Amino acid sequence: MGAVWRRDQTNYLTDALSQLQGWTRDPRGLRRTLTLDDSQHRELAEHITVYADAAEVHAQIRRLDGHTQIQLCTADDTGPLTASEVSLAARIEAAYGEIANR
């Protein structure tokens, strides 16, 4: 399970999350919507599955109207933002950049 930062360290994670373009936090976790074609979606979904398993973060990925929607949360999705969630979002963002720019 990922580290959970103390209240005074939560700002560090919030600041880190703010550096990831397009990611937002809501009561259910982190969210991001991407514009990808079907083959790009499949490739990114494979990466996310592997990364999420390693980080022990629950990732929901769905395709809707030509967009890939991603939601990340830990087992306790009502808890504080975790380093695992932010780290996974950063890894997804890097993979997205590689896939989308081919």
Residue ranges of domains in the chain: 7-100
Task: Compute the 3-state secondary structure of the chain and give helix, strand, coil in percent, each to the nearest 5.
Answer: 45, 25, 25
Max alpha carbon distance in the chain (Å)?
42
Q: Which residues neighbour 17 within 8 Å (Cβ) at sequence distance 6 or greater?
A: 23, 25, 30, 81, 86, 89
Render each residue's pLDDT in the chain as its tens digit; 102 residues.
455 545 555 588 888 999 999 999 988 889 999 999 999 999 999 999 999 999 999 999 999 999 999 999 876 656 788 899 999 999 999 999 999 998
Q: Which residue has the tokens 């079907």?
A: 38
Handedness of CA 27, 30, 35, 41 (dihedral sign): negative
Fold type of domain 7-100: Gyrase A; domain 2 (3.30.1360)
